[in-house]
Chains A and B, each alone.
Chain A
Amino acid sequence: MKQLLCPLNGLRNISEFLYGGEVHELSDPRDYSAKDWAEHVFFDENRAGLVLEWWCHRPTSYWFIAERNTITDEVVRSFPSSEIFTHRIDFDQRRDRGEHV
């Protein structure tokens, strides 16, 4: 059986995990038309090569990110999502500060 390294629980059988899709940049739905938002939510890039993916360790409901080569199916590394998402994103506050969202 394939195994995946969970940053919290260590190496476990792949049957303990759920695939959560590609990692996308968080975007504000108010900036999209309905069609563009649907594509943002449901469409994947499906790139050949190294991609970042969400995975969940089911027994702990722990979501993390794995970097996987979609050509060789090799997981290069897995890490907590806090490495990328370092703080809570509040779209209203960013908009209030005049930042581009």
Chain B
Amino acid sequence: MSASVLSVLESTVLRKSPLHRVHLAAGGTMIESELGEAVGVYRSEITDREAAAHLGLVDLCLQPRSGFKGGGSSDYLRTFSIDLPSGPNRARFLSEGVLVSQLSFDEYLLLETTTEASNTARAASQAWSMEDDTRDCYEVPRQDSHGCLAVVGAQAANTLSSLISVDLRSQHFENLFVAQTLLNEVSVIVIRQDLGFLPNFFLLADISAMEYLWTVLLDAMGEDGGAAVGLEAFHWIQSGSAGLS
């Protein structure tokens, strides 16, 4: 495929989540944004917001994300004034809405969590070059390899803890802790970033397992009164409008 065709595709084709067909079949109402086409509302605005406050599952597969690994990765990220977490399996939330997670002694994951574009995270990705092999830092593209979901709501820690071997309740798993574990034999990265008083967990896993994970999570959440919710409800919680912050 020629470069000119690629550029046309990039400019005209909306990105879609790997769960797109699932959302359509479930009656989700799609919205378009600069990130692509995603579920805005699942049932109704009010129902979605109520579900998100109690126990909601959100598809965030379109959120920009990237990663860096190698002995020089921390020095590389610091050149972009990115504050790094205190150690492995910890995260730091930057003012631009970027969640920086340290996955090992020399590996980092950058996840944009809001609708605001992060110039810092994107600059770090754009500045990295395969040609510069002197800094021992390698980009780990996460946009197409991993999918991203969020489990949010007052019941989120209890329900999610029943599915994995890590106790995610706040007395054992504090805000901005990271757990890398198995969920029904699928490797997942769990990042806790509470939204006000509401527990919120980002889940990243292999993109090919997204539909399976979505089904497993919804099935388990259904027992606790949880449901799939759209982006509108998630952003409403994020903005603090739920009155819980």
Tell me the complex Cα distance, A59–B103, Å.
11
Q: Check B89–A59 contact: CB distance below 8 A.
A: no
Which A residues contact B (CB, under 8 angstroms)? 8-10, 12-13, 15-16, 57-60, 62, 80
Q: Is B179 an interface residue (CB 8 A)?
A: yes
A86 CB, nearest partner CB in chain B, Å: 14
Which B residues contact A (CB, under 8 angstroms)? 88-89, 103-105, 165-166, 179-182, 187-189
**Pick the contact of B180 from A13, A15, A60, A80 — CB < 8 Å?**
A60
What residue of chain B has the Cβ atom nearest to residue A60's Cβ? Answer: B180
A60-B103, A62-B104 known; A9 vs B182 contact (CB < 8 Å): no
Q: Check A9–B165 contact: CB distance below 8 A.
A: no
Tell me the complex Cα distance, A49–B166, Å.
31
Q: Check A13–B165 contact: CB distance below 8 A.
A: yes
Residues of A within 8 A of B105 (CB): 8, 80
Residues of B within 8 A of A16 (CB): 165, 181-182
Tell me the complex Cα distance, A16–B181, Å.
7
A70 CB, nearest partner CB in chain B, Å: 25
Tell me the complex Cα distance, A8–B178, Å.
11
Q: Check A59–B180 contact: CB distance below 8 A.
A: yes
Q: Check B182–A59 contact: CB distance below 8 A.
A: yes
Q: Check A58–B88 contact: CB distance below 8 A.
A: no
What residue of chain B has the Cβ atom nearest to residue A14's Cβ? Answer: B165
B91 CB, nearest partner CB in chain A, Å: 15
Q: Check A8–B182 contact: CB distance below 8 A.
A: no
B73 CB, nearest partner CB in chain A, Å: 16
What residue of chain A has the Cβ atom nearest to residue B107's Cβ? Answer: A60
What residue of chain B has the Cβ atom nearest to residue A1's Cβ? Answer: B165
Q: Check B89–A15 contact: CB distance below 8 A.
A: no
Tell me the complex Cα distance, A8–B182, Å.
15
7 further A-B pairs in the complex, CB-CB below 8 A; given A10-B89, A15-B182 = A8-B89, A9-B180, A16-B165, A16-B181, A58-B187, A59-B180, A62-B104
Q: Check B188–A59 contact: CB distance below 8 A.
A: yes
What residue of chain A has the Cβ atom nearest to residue B165's Cβ? Answer: A13
Q: Check B187–A9 contact: CB distance below 8 A.
A: no
Residues of B within 8 A of A8 (CB): 88-89, 104-105
Q: Check A12–B89 contact: CB distance below 8 A.
A: no
Tell me the complex Cα distance, A12–B165, Å.
7
Q: List 11 A-B contacts (CB under 8 A).
A: A9-B179, A9-B180, A12-B166, A15-B182, A16-B165, A59-B180, A59-B181, A59-B188, A60-B104, A60-B180, A60-B187
Q: What 4 A-B pairs come out closest when comparing CB atoms?
A: A59-B187, A13-B165, A59-B180, A60-B180
B126 CB, nearest partner CB in chain A, Å: 27
What residue of chain A has the Cβ atom nearest to residue B89's Cβ? Answer: A9
Interface centre among B89, B180, B189 (most CB of A within 10 A): B180
Residues of A within 8 A of B189 (CB): 59
Residues of A within 8 A of B179 (CB): 9
Residues of B within 8 A of A62 (CB): 104
Tell me the complex Cα distance, A15–B165, Å.
10
